[in-house]
C-alpha cells in the first residue's frame, strides 16, 4: 500500500494518514486505579506495513474515574494510544513539553433526550496525557476518546473506551468489520507496555480532567459521542502551536456556514487560569452533527486560548530550578565553535542574553546550527544546567541551556555587522539602523525614552491637564517665515507646523484650562549639529495661570525630577552606560533659577564676550553649564527673563522693563532642553507685535480670532524628548535618542529602477530580439528621444540593444538626444555610431540637444566643437505651487468646463481629432518644432488630460513617460480654436498637480548662446549674433515665457559638431531641421 504524504492542512489527521509500526501488539494493560477490573479481551493485531519505521507513541494514563455522586467507578483502560511511524522525509527535529494544564469538557442535556431515557453521569476522568518519542522526532498523532453510543461502540458497564472505526486505518477497519459485535465492544489499541522501549523518553505531558455527560443506550441520539485530542505533524522550520490549532479546528466545527447541522445554541468559552494554559480539544464533526455541546474551562470569561508551549523569558531562567525544560525564542548573537559536535551559542532577546550549549551525537545537526548566521531568529528547547563558571558574556550568567532541539524561525541575510562587536561610528550604525536597534543598549535606551513620556503623561494628568492633538498642516508659518517645510496642499500653499504653539494658545482661549501634547515637530533648519533634528518629538504644554508664569516652571520641574529619579532606578541604566558611560545627574532639591543677566555676567567674568540682547551660542551655553556646576554643584537649572529680541512675537514682555520678557529656558549639563514663558493674551498688543516682527496676518485669521474672543492669561513651554534623553544619559548626539532620525542629510535622493527591466541594455540581448525603442525611452529617455517615434527618424541599433535616432538632411546626419542606453555605455555607443555614420553612410554627423555627459565625450574623445543655446525646461511638481490666475480659474468653472484625465478610447480620439485639425488649419507663419502632432502613438506610455464642455474638447495635454530620472514630458499642450479663455492654463496646472517628480516641457531657447569646447574668438561671436537674430525673427522666447509661468527652470543641453566638415554657413541646417 502506498503511503500518503502528510501535508500541513486544516483537517483532522486520521490514522491512515501515516504509516504504522510493523510489529504485532496485544492491546490492554491493567488500570492503575482499579486493578481489580477485568482485563479487556484481546483485539485484532495491527497490520503489517512495508518500509514503516518506529517513531513513538501517545498515551492517556487514567488516574481516577468518579460519577456524579463522587463514587469511584472502574476506570477506562489506561492504554489508549496511537503508535505511528513517519517516513524519513517528513521527520522534524523538535521536542515539546506541556506543563500541568487543566481542561474540562461538558455536554449539556439536549431537550429531546429527556423523553428517550434516563441520563447517566456526569463522569469525571482525571489523568495524564503524554507523548513519547524515539530519539528526537515527533509525528502526527490522533487519539479518539469516545463516549457512549446507542448502536456501534456501545459503552459497557466497565466504562471502557473504544476506537471509532472512522479514525482507524483502512486495514484496521477491515479487521474491525470481521469481528463479531461482542468483540468490537472490547477492541483496544495496543498498550504502552508492548511498544519497543529503546530510546523512548517522555517529551510531552498534560494533566487533565475530562467530564462527559452521556446518555443511556435507549437515547434517541444514535451517533457516538467523540472527543479527539489532535496533534498536527510538525513541519520543518515551523513550530507547533497546539492550542491555536485546536481552537481553529473547534471554531471551524462551530461555524454554521461550514457545518449547517450545528445548533445555534452551541457555545465555546475558553479562559486562561492564572498559572496554567488550557489545552483545547478538537471535536470531530461526526460526533457533533445531531447533538449539543459546549467546552468550558470552569469560568465564564471568553478569552482567546493560550499557547500551551509558553515561551520562557531569558530573564526568568535563573529563577527556575536546574533540570527544568525551557523553550526560548531569541536571536543568535554569536557562535563559539569548539568542535564539529560542540558549539556555544550566545542567545539574545532584547536586553537579556544566555549561553546555550549544543553538544550532540549527530554531527549533521550541530553542523547545521553552526552555519546559521548571527542575528538569525531561532526557537530553542533545552535543559537548564549550571555552568562550570559564570558566563561573563551573558546577562544570565548562573545557568546555561543544553539544547535538545533548535528551530530556525527566520534567517538574517547579509547583515553588515554583528551586535556582538558592532561598529563605533555613528554613520556606520545609522546606515543599518534596524540592526543597530537590536543591540541591548538601544533596547534599554528606548525603554528609558518610553519612561520619560509616561512620566510626562502621569504628572500632567495629576495636575488636571487635558491631552490634545493639534494639526500639523498650517496655512501659514506658525512663528516666522523661515525654518518651515512648504507643502503642496492641493495646489495651495501649506506648511508643516514648526510647533503646536498657536493651536495650544487657541485651546486655552477655548477654556480648556490646561492642555498638553506629545507629537512631532518639524524644523527646516539646515543645521548638521549634534543637537538639531529636522523632525523630533515635542512635549508641549500650555496652561491658564493664576499669578505668574512661574507656575509652569513648577509643573515642568516636578515632571523632570520624577524622570531623574525613575531613570536611575531602572535596571536598563546599566546596559545604556555599558555603551555610553555617564555620571548621575546632579540637581538641587530647590531648583536653581538664574536671571539671564546673571548668566551673561558669569560668562563675562570667565573672559567671554557676550551681548545682553542676544541669545547664547551653543559653546556659551555649554560653558555656562560648567560654570554653574562648579559654583552651585548642579547640572540642572533654569535661565529666566530672556531679552525680547531673542523671543518670538507672542512672548509677554516684562512690564517693569520691556527690554526683557517673561520667558525662560531649562538646561541639563549646559544643553537646552526646554523653552517657554508667558504669552500675550491682549489682541491689540499681539497685533502690534506681529507688525513689528514683520509677520503678515494673512493665514493667521483663526489664531487672531481666538484672542478677539478674549483669552485668559496663560503660559506654556515646549520640551524636546530626544534632548532630554540624550543629555540626561550623555549620549553625545540626539540622533541616538531618535528611532529613525531625520536631519538635513536624511532621505537621500534615490535613483528609481527601470520601468522595463527586460529592456536593460547592460544585460546581454539576443541579436534577433532587441528591446523596442518605446521601452528604451521609458527606461533611459529624455524629451528629445520621444521625437524618434516620428516617421522621418531612422533608428540605429547597437549590439547591446542601445539605440540612436537620426535624420538624413542633405550631407548631414541630424541626431537629437542622448543614446538610449545606460550612462556607463555612452562612450562605447557614441563611438560605434559615429563610425557607422562616417564610414558606412558617408554623412557628416551633427549631434543636438545632448546632455553635459555626452557633449563631454564628443569634445574630449572626438575633438568636436560644442555650444549651448537651448535648455530643457523642467518643473519639479513636488516643489511648485499653483500659479493660475484666480480669475481664469473661476471663469473656467463658471463656463462649466470639465478638467480631468481621460482614457483614450475611440470616441475621445474622434472628438479630439476634430480639434487637432482645426488647430493645424489655424496656424500661421513659420513654425519651429521637433516632433509631429501624433498623440495616439505609444499609448502604453502616455497619459491624456482634457478640458471638455458639452462633449467638445477645448484643450488637450498629453504626457509622455520618460526615464525614472527625468519623469514625464508635456509632449503636447494644444489649445483648440474656440476654447474658453484660460482653459489651457488651468488644464496644464491640473496636469502638473496629477504627477510627482520632474516634468519637462521639452527644449526651449536660452537667453544667450554659450560657447563650449573648442569654440571661441570670432567664430563664437558670429554664432552669438546669428543666434539672437534667429530667435527674435521666429519669436522663440514667447514659448519659453509661457512655460516659466508654471515654474519651469532651464537645464542646459548642447549642440555638438566636428571641426572639419561643418562651416559657419552649414549651421543654418540646424534651424532648417526644426522648421516645417
CA distance 783 to 56: 72
**Reduced to 3 states, what is the DSSP secondary structure of residue 454?**
helix
* pLDDT at site 1037: 56
Task: Find, among 254, 261, 263, 260, the residue nearest to 302 by Cα.
Answer: 254
Element at 1037 (helix H, strand E): helix 1037-1044
CA distance 78 to 32: 7
> Grid coordinates standing for 18?
501515516
State pLDDT tens for residues 362-417: 677 778 888 888 999 999 999 999 999 999 889 999 999 999 888 889 988 888 78
Q: Tell me the angle at which helices 550-569 and 721-728 cross, rounded to the nearest 10 degrees.
A: 50
Q: How many CB atoms lie within 10 A of CB 603?
A: 18
Q: Which residues of 974-1012 are buried (b: 16+ CB within 10 A; e: fewer)?
A: bbbeebbebbbbbbbbbbbebbeebbbbbbbbbeebbbb
State pLDDT tens for residues 1014-1065: 887 777 777 777 676 666 665 555 655 666 777 788 888 898 988 877 776 6
Q: How many CB atoms lie within 10 A of CB 1030?
A: 16
Question: Considering just the CA atoms, what is the radius of gyration of the chain in Å?
Answer: 41
Residue 881 has pLDDT above 50, yes or no: yes
* pLDDT at site 926: 58
Mean pLDDT of 784-791: 92
CA distance 915 to 954: 7
More confident residue, 248 or 720: 720
Task: Find, among 148, 192, 196, 188, the residue nearest to 172 by Cα.
Answer: 188
Q: Mean pLDDT across the chain, nearest whole number?
A: 72
State pLDDT tens for residues 278-335: 333 332 333 333 323 222 333 333 333 334 457 899 999 988 999 889 999 999 998 8
What is the bridge-based pairing of β-strands 514-522 and 535-544? antiparallel
More confident residue, 749 or 251: 749
Task: Find, among 252, 294, 243, the residue nearest to 272 by Cα.
Answer: 243
* pLDDT at site 346: 92
* pLDDT at site 75: 39
CA distance 65 to 33: 9
* pLDDT at site 1051: 87
Of the ranges 110-114, 139-143, 612-616, which is most confident?
612-616
What is the bridge-based pairing of β-strands 352-359 and 396-410? parallel
Residue 544 has pLDDT above 60, yes or no: yes
CA distance 412 to 1023: 63
Q: Tell me the angle at which helices 501-509 and 701-708 cross, rounded to the nearest 10 degrees.
A: 30
Task: Find, among 346, 343, 347, the residue nearest to 368 by Cα.
Answer: 343
∠ at Cα 941 (940, 943), nearest 5°? 100
Query: Burial level of 277, CB count in 10 A (0-12/13-18/19+)?
Result: buried
Instruction: Say what the pTM is.
Output: 0.55
State pLDDT tens for residues 643-653: 998 888 899 99
Q: Report residue 1013: phi and psi, to 5°.
A: -80, 140
Query: Burial level of 607, CB count in 10 A (0-12/13-18/19+)?
Result: exposed
CA distance 817 to 139: 68
CB 270, CB 302: distance < 8 Å: yes
CB 54, CB 85: distance < 8 Å: yes
More confident residue, 253 or 1036: 1036
Lowest mean pLDDT among 367-371, 565-569, 776-780: 367-371
Beta bridge partners of 844: 812
More confident residue, 370 or 627: 627
**Reduced to 3 states, what is the DSSP secondary structure of residue 333?**
strand
Task: Find, among 399, 408, 404, 406, the residue nearest to 202 by Cα.
Answer: 404
CA distance 427 to 209: 60
Mean pLDDT of 595-617: 90
State pLDDT tens for residues 183-231: 433 434 434 334 333 343 444 444 544 444 333 333 332 232 333 333 3
* pLDDT at site 126: 56
**Reduced to 3 states, what is the DSSP secondary structure of residue 116?**
coil
CA distance 324 to 384: 6
Mean pLDDT of 846-864: 91
Element at 752 (helix H, strand E): none
* Helices assigned H by DSSP within 490-590: 501-509, 550-569, 572-579
The residues annotated with a catalytic role in the active site are 523, 525, 531-532, 672, 675, 723
CB 805, CB 785: distance < 8 Å: yes
* pLDDT at site 493: 82
* pLDDT at site 539: 96
Lowest mean pLDDT among 235-239, 919-923, 944-948: 235-239
CA distance 1015 to 864: 9
Q: Name residue, grid cell 529656558.
A: 665
Q: How many CB atoms lie within 10 A of CB 1063?
A: 8
Residue 443 has pLDDT above 90, yes or no: yes
Residue 632 has pLDDT above 90, yes or no: yes
Task: Find, among 309, 297, 253, 252, the residue nearest to 131 by Cα.
Answer: 309
Cα 493 to chain center, whole Å? 30
Mean pLDDT of 781-806: 93
Q: Give the end-to-end CA distance of the chain in Å, rounded to a whole number.
A: 84
CA distance 331 to 343: 15
DSSP 237-255: T----HHHHHHHHHHHHH-
User: Where would I find the beta strands (DSSP E) of 484-609?
Assistant: 486-489, 492-496, 514-522, 535-544, 592-595
Beta bridge partners of 454: none
CA distance 524 to 520: 13
Q: Tell me the angle at which helices 683-692 and 701-708 cross, rounded to the nearest 10 degrees.
A: 150
∠ at Cα 761 (759, 765), nearest 5°? 75
State pLDDT tens for residues 709-741: 999 999 999 999 999 999 999 998 999 999 998
Sign of CA dihedral 298, 302, 303, 304: positive
∠ at Cα 921 (920, 925), nearest 5°? 85
CA distance 853 to 892: 44
* pLDDT at site 646: 87
Identify the band that residue 158 occupies on the pLDDT scale cut at 50, 70 and 90.
very low
* Helices assigned H by DSSP within 121-205: 170-178, 181-185
Lowest mean pLDDT among 132-141, 243-252, 1000-1009: 243-252
CA–CA distances in Å: residue 680 to residues 482, 653, 689: 22, 8, 9
Domain ranges of the chain: 15-295, 314-415, 444-737
CATH superfamily of 314-415: Nucleic acid-binding proteins (2.40.50.140)
Q: Does 314-415 match 444-737 in CATH topology?
A: no
Residue 22 has pLDDT above 60, yes or no: no
Lowest mean pLDDT among 60-69, 954-963, 986-995: 60-69
The residues, ordered by sequence, that sit 6+ positions from 810 with a Cβ below 8 Å of its Cβ are 1069
∠ at Cα 155 (150, 158), nearest 5°? 155
* pLDDT at site 9: 34
State pLDDT tens for residues 981-999: 889 999 998 999 889 889 9
* pLDDT at site 181: 40
**CATH level 3 topology of 444-737:** BirA Bifunctional Protein; domain 2 (3.30.930)
* pLDDT at site 486: 86
CA distance 750 to 777: 20
Running DSSP on this structure, what letter comes out for residue 90?
Answer: G
CA distance 80 to 1019: 105
Residue 11 has pLDDT above 50, yes or no: no
DSSP 361-378: S-HHHHHHHHTSPTT-EE
More confident residue, 854 or 274: 854
Amino acid at each position: 500500500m502506498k503511503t500518503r504524504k502528510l501535508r500541513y492542512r486544516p483537517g483532522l489527521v486520521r490514522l491512515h494518514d501515516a504509516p504504522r509500526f510493523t510489529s504485532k501488539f496485544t492491546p490492554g494493560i491493567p488500570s492503575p486505579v482499579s486493578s481489580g477490573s477485568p482485563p479487556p479481551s484481546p483485539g485484532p493485531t495491527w497490520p503489517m506495513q512495508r518500509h514503516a519505521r518506529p517513531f513513538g507513541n501517545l498515551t492517556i494514563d487514567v488516574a481516577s474515574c468518579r460519577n456524579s455522586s463522587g463514587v469511584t467507578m472502574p476506570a477506562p483502560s489506561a492504554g489508549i494510544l496511537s503508535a505511528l511511524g513517519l517516513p524519513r522525509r517528513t521527520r522534524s527535529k523538535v521536542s515539546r513539553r506541556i506543563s500541568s494544564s487543566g481542561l474540562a469538557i461538558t455536554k449539556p442535556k439536549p431537550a429531546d433526550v429527556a423523553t428517550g431515557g434516563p441520563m447517566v453521569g456526569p463522569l469525571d476522568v482525571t489523568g495524564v496525557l503524554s507523548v513519547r518519542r524515539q530519539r528526537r522526532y515527533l509525528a502526527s498523532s490522533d487519539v479518539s476518546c469516545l463516549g457512549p453510543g446507542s448502536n456501534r461502540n456501545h459503552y459497557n458497564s466497565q466504562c471502557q473506551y473504544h476506537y471509532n472505526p472512522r479514525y482507524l486505518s483502512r486495514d484496521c477497519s477491515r479487521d474491525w468489520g470481521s469481528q463479531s459485535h461482542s468483540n468490537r465492544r472490547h477492541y483496544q489499541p495496543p498498550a504502552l507496555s508492548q511498544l519497543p522501549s529503546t530510546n523512548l523518553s517522555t517529551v510531552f505531558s498534560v494533566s487533565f480532567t475530562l467530564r462527559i455527560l452521556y446518555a443511556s443506550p435507549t437515547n434517541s441520539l444514535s451517533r457516538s459521542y467523540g472527543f479527539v485530542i489532535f496533534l498536527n505533524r510538525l513541519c520543518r522550520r515551523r513550530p507547533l502551536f497546539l492550542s491555536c490549532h485546536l481552537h481553529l479546528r473547534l471554531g471551524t466545527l462551530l461555524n454554521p456556514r461550514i457545518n449547517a447541522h450545528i445548533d445555534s445554541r452551541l457555545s465555546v468559552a475558553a479562559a486562561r487560569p492564572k498559572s496554567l494554559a488550557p489545552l483545547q480539544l478538537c471535536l470531530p464533526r461526526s460526533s457533533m452533527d445531531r447533538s449539543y455541546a459546549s467546552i468550558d474551562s470552569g469560568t465564564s470569561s471568553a478569552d482567546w486560548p493560550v499557547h500551551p508551549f509558553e515561551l520562557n523569558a531569558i530573564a526568568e531562567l535563573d529563577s527556575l530550578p536546574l533540570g527544568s525544560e525551557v523553550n526560548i525564542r531569541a536571536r543568535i548573537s554569536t557562535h563559539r565553535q569548539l568542535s564539529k559536535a560542540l558549539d556555544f551559542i550566545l542567545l539574545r532577546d532584547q536586553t537579556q542574553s544566555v549561553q546555550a550549549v549544543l553538544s550532540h551525537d549527530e554531527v549533521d545537526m550541530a553542523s547545521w546550527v553552526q552555519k546559521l548566521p548571527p542575528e538569525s531568529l531561532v526557537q530553542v528547547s533545552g535543559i537548564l544546567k549550571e555552568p562550570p563558571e559564570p558566563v561573563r558574556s551573558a546577562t544570565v550568567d548562573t545557568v546555561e541551556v543544553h539544547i535538545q532541539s533548535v528551530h530556525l524561525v527566520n534567517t538574517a541575510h547579509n547583515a553588515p555587522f554583528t551586535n556582538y562587536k558592532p561598529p563605533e561610528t555613528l554613520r556606520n550604525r545609522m546606515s543599518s539602523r534596524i540592526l543597530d536597534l537590536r543591540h541591548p543598549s538601544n533596547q534599554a535606551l528606548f525603554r528609558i525614552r518610553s519612561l520619560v513620556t509616561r512620566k510626562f503623561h502621569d504628572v500632567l494628568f495629576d495636575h488636571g491637564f487635558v491631552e490634545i492633538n493639534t494639526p500639523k498642516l498650517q496655512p501659514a508659518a506658525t512663528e516666522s517665515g523661515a525654518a518651515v517645510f512648504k507643502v503642496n496642499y492641493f495646489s495651495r500653499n501649506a506648511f508643516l507646523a514648526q510647533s503646536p504653539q498657536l493651536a495650544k494658545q487657541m485651546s486655552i482661549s477655548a477654556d480648556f484650562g490646561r492642555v498638553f501634547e506629545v507629537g512631532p515637530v518639524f524644523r527646516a533648519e539646515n543645521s548638521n549639529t549634534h543637537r538639531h533634528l529636522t523632525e523630533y518629538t515635542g512635549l508641549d504644554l500650555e496652561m491658564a495661570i493664576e499669578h505668574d508664569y512661574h507656575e509652569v516652571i513648577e509643573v515642568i520641574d516636578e515632571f523632570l525630577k520624577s524622570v531623574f529619579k525613575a531613570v536611575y532606578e531602572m535596571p536598563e541604566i546599566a546596559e545604556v552606560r555599558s555603551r555610553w558611560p555617564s555620571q548621575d545627574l546632579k540637581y538641587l532639591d530647590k531648583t536653581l533659577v538664574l536671571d539671564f543677566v546673571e548668566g551673561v555676567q558669569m560668562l563675562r567674568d570667565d573672559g567671554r564676550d557676550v551681548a545682553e540682547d542676544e541669545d547664547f551660542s551653543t559653546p556659551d551655553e555649554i560653558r555656562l553649564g560648567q560654570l554653574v556646576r562648579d559654583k552651585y554643584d548642579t547640572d540642572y537649572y533654569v535661565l529666566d527673563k530672556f531679552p525680547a529680541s531673542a523671543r518670538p512675537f507672542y512672548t509677554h514682555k516684562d512690564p517693569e522693563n520691556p527690554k526683557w520678557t517673561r520667558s525662560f529656558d531649562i538646561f541639563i549639563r549646559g544643553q537646552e532642553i526646554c523653552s517657554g514663558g508667558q504669552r500675550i493674551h491682549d489682541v491689540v498688543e499681539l497685533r502690534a507685535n506681529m507688525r513689528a516682527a514683520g509677520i503678515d496676518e494673512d493665514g493667521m485669521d483663526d489664531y487672531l480670532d481666538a484672542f478677539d474672543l478674549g483669552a485668559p492669561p496663560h503660559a506654556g513651554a515646549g520640551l524636546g524628548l530626544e534632548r532630554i534623553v540624550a543629555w540626561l544619559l550623555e549620549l553625545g548626539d540626539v540622533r541616538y535618542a531618535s528611532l529613525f532620525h531625520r536631519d538635513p542629510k536624511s532621505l537621500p535622493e534615490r535613483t528609481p529602477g527601470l520601468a522595463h527591466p527586460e529592456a536593460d541594455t547592460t544585460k546581454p540581448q539576443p541579436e534577433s530580439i532587441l528591446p523596442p525603442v518605446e521601452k528604451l525611452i521609458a527606461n533611459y529617455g529624455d524629451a528629445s528621444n520621444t521625437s524618434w517615434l516620428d516617421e522621418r527618424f531612422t533608428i540605429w541599433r547597437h549590439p547591446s540593444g542601445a539605440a540612436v535616432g537620426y535624420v538624413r538632411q542633405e550631407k548631414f546626419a541630424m541626431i537629437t538626444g542622448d543614446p538610449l542606453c545606460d550612462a556607463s555605455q555612452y562612450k562605447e555607443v557614441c563611438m560605434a555610431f559615429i563610425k557607422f555614420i562616417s564610414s558606412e553612410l558617408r554623412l557628416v554627423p551633427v549631434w543636438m540637444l545632448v546632455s553635459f555627459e555626452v557633449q563631454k565625450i564628443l569634445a574630449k574623445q572626438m575633438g568636436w566643437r560644442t555650444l549651448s543655446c537651448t535648455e530643457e525646461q523642467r518643473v519639479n511638481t513636488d516643489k511648485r505651487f499653483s500659479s493660475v490666475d484666480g480669475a481664469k480659474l473661476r471663469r473656467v468653472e463658471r463656463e462649466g468646463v470639465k478638467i480631468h484625465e481621460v482614457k483614450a478610447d475611440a470616441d475621445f480620439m474622434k472628438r479630439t481629432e476634430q480639434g487637432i485639425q482645426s488647430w493645424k488649419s489655424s496656424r500661421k507663419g513659420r513654425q519651429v518644432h521637433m516632433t509631429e502632432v501624433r498623440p495616439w502613438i505609444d499609448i502604453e506610455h502616455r497619459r491624456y488630460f482634457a478640458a471638455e464642455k458639452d462633449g467638445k474638447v477645448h484643450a488637450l495635454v498629453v504626457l509622455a513617460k520618460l526615464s525614472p530620472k527625468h519623469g514625464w514630458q508635456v509632449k503636447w499642450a494644444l489649445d483648440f480654436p474656440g476654447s474658453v479663455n484660460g482653459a489651457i492654463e488651468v488644464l496644464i496646472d491640473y496636469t502638473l498637480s496629477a504627477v510627482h517628480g520632474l516634468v519637462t516641457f521639452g527644449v526651449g531657447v536660452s537667453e544667450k548662446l554659450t560657447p563650449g569646447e573648442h569654440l571661441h574668438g570670432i567664430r563664437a561671436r558670429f554664432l552669438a549674433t546669428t543666434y539672437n537674430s534667429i530667435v527674435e525673427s521666429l519669436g522663440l522666447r514667447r514659448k519659453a515665457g509661457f512655460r516659466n509661468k508654471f515654474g519651469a527652470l532651464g537645464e542646459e543641453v548642447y549642440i555638438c559638431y566636428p571641426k572639419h566638415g561643418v562651416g559657419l554657413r552649414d549651421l543654418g541646417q540646424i534651424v532648417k531641421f526644426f522648421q516645417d
